[in-house]
Structure 1
Amino acid sequence: MSTPDGYRRVSIDSSRASEVLHVDSFAFAFTVPDKDRDFLTQILPWERTRAIEVADASRGTVGTLAAVHASFEFGMQVPGGHQIPTSGLTWVGVHPGHRRRGLLRDMIDDHFERSLGRGEAVSILIAAETEIYQRFGYGLATSDIQMELGRSVGLRDFPGADALIVEIDTANVDRHGDTMRAVQARQTRPGMVTQWDSHTVADVLMDLDADRDGAEELRIAIVRDGDEPVAWALFQRKLGWGSSGPDGRTRVRMWASTSPAATHRLVKVLTDFDLMSTTVMRNFTADDPLLLRIKDIRGAKLAVRDMIWLRVLDVPAALQARSYAADCDVALAITDKQLPGNEGTWRIRASEGTATVTRTDEPADVTVAAQELGAAYLGGTTFAQLHAAALVSEHRPDAVRDLSRAFACEVAPAGNLFF
């Protein structure tokens, strides 16, 4: 697909950060105070930042930016403990004065082309609006559970948790960046981005006045087992007063843990601050042991949220990068009009945990669209579920069952990085 008439694709660097901020502030309806307006220079990977520029005066002032996007270079965990080169699509925005002209579709095409050129087999994103990216083949690969916990939530004791040391401080890149990276590097669930570069650390720890909504500056809680960090959480408290006294709220922006004991200790600390009556945390999975230790699970006010949306860019590279829970031999037909290199029938032969994926002219056993392949890739959604929802077609008896068993994962996939 060619770029719409009157526009051109361009690579941009940090000298145009204010223009990027201008486009996205209109796209997402926010305003950043002048004193904070240079924050994008720290958090965007400028060597991977792209834009669409006005090239014809009939479309606006020539040389101004009409749309922008960037992509982080990630290594993401996949089933089997392996990592796959991943492109993290971010800061996607079209100025409202240039909408409905095909600019978003052109940016997605550009993102796919450049990601494939770098050898990145999948793309992931966190969606501001969930319907938009399904048009481009992104499937919901991980969901998470949000909990709203009351003061000193009742938890059944966990052996060894109370002996872990807790440190609480104002969050700082220089003091805490390496500690956070060390814990993140030990995350094993599929979907977790475990290696953070300097852009990612700066983004995670960015603390703008405009984002606080009256809350305190960004704080960090670190759990240690001796000298070793085993968990951390970034949080902010906002003091409030009700008719019966203090009614503050703690919002946990992000957290990571290496063990159930560390998670238990972290949650007990975060839910027991003076003057705070409620703590909100996301990024729990349905199989997290902590959920089994909450005495009043109804009182936790659980809500399921979408998290990682995933797009397979290179079918053989992506499918051969992960491990398989059962053997299978299935001819999988994939429909993918946006990436014709993926379209067609692929034979997946999995044996002893690994698979070979090759093109075949044989009749397909199962047909799946790119969006559903993305949803099933990390094992969080099964082919059997997709088939029951009439989103996958079966042409040979038991072929969907074979795929479901092969793609299954012992633990639920997860993500904790908002980017």
Structure 2
Amino acid sequence: MNQLLSSATDNLKGTVNVPGDKSISHRALIMGSLAIGETLVAGLLEGEDVLNTAAAMRALGADIRKDEDGTWHIHGVGVGALHEPEGALDMGNSGTGARLLMGLISTYPFSTTFIGDASLSSRPMKRVTDPLESFGAEFHGSENGTLPLTVRGTGMPVPISYDVPVASAQVKSAIMLAALNTPGTTTIFEKKPTRDHTERMFSFFGVDTTTTPKDSGRVITVTGQPELTARNLTVPGDPSSAAFPVVAALITPGSDITIRNVGLNPDRTGLFITLKEMGADIEFVNEREDCGEPVADLRVRHSRLKAITVPQDRAPSMIDEYPILCIAAAFADGTTMMRGAEELRVKESDRIAIMVKGLRACGIDVEEFDDGMAITGSREKPAGGAVIETHLDHRIAMSFLTLGLQSEQPVTVDDGSVIETSFPIFRELMNGLGANIHPAGENK
């Protein structure tokens, strides 16, 4: 176990760049691999999850390499030209990578086996595989649809119309990727809008796709078998990664930090909106657009937060940020209510149960619900002093390390190595701002 320990700090100061957006990085690799010509990608997140997707796309036929200056070169093979990999595709801890690639290859006439680590192998896949079977693909594995799972793609896919039963950008995106190699038009109905990174990336590469508002949701269409042309792009900084230094600065007196080049996709800003409603001093500076995505620099200063009830319909736009929101809520006056987030039960871990257990161990008052929790915060520092079981979940680990920056006693996470999957420079970046995060046992 690689235990990490976080101790109290005086304040955070400085200007930093967080790693590239993980969702956009996955999609940039996939779409570049399907485009004719050379796609150049700057700012790609180089965490384990994305690197596993790069390795998988190489195994499927793309030529992908990285320059000394950090630019990634992708020579694509064209839609319809992927080939059967020689071995299983190991997706490590990445549910996003696994589900997107299951969609992509479900409409190719070959078989592929997906494997992953213990965490990924415990996560359900049926909500993705069920609609993909409608294209004609077959899936073979355990009864509950967990990895290892073999996909037998179809050589004669048929377009589908699918009503997504639960708000999930991964399910939607898997269907859209399956539609790329399917003749005709595939239609997807979303009851609740989810992140639109796939739609934006499809449009950026020239896929004929439309998005139409309908009632409270959206209708998305994809016309299959396009000829994609290589494009150059810069991946915006990941707002999910920016969330950790943002909340750390908000709860640490005297803090004033700037985070450059953060993606502000409207489907990803739920946390920042929620924090501002709680009284957070967050300023968007130098707003602009890159590769179809809105971007800005964030200036964040320590703030006295107040509790709110988070609107349930905001959950899809901040589903990955609930763990770090829990930390902000622990420092807000009053009881912060978070409901409508049942998807947290099936993320990298059961994030509701694990956050509740960890918060209570650190002396924080929390009530658990099937679809969320209520956290009663205080102006007083929480006790801390606990060793948190992360269950191989990187966001759990980073959230409790953030809590330790303002706890009476240090907070330890049982395995900090899982952070490598999404934010490999987390400790370096945070300590550069003034945090005190280090391996347990080191004297600091």
TM-score higher than 0.5 here? no
What is the TM-score of this pair, normalised by structure 1? 0.27
Choose between structure 1 and 2: higher strand proportion: 1
Choose between structure 1 and 2: higher helix proportion: 2
Highest CA radius of gyration, 1 or 2? 1
What is the TM-score of this pair, normalised by structure 2? 0.26
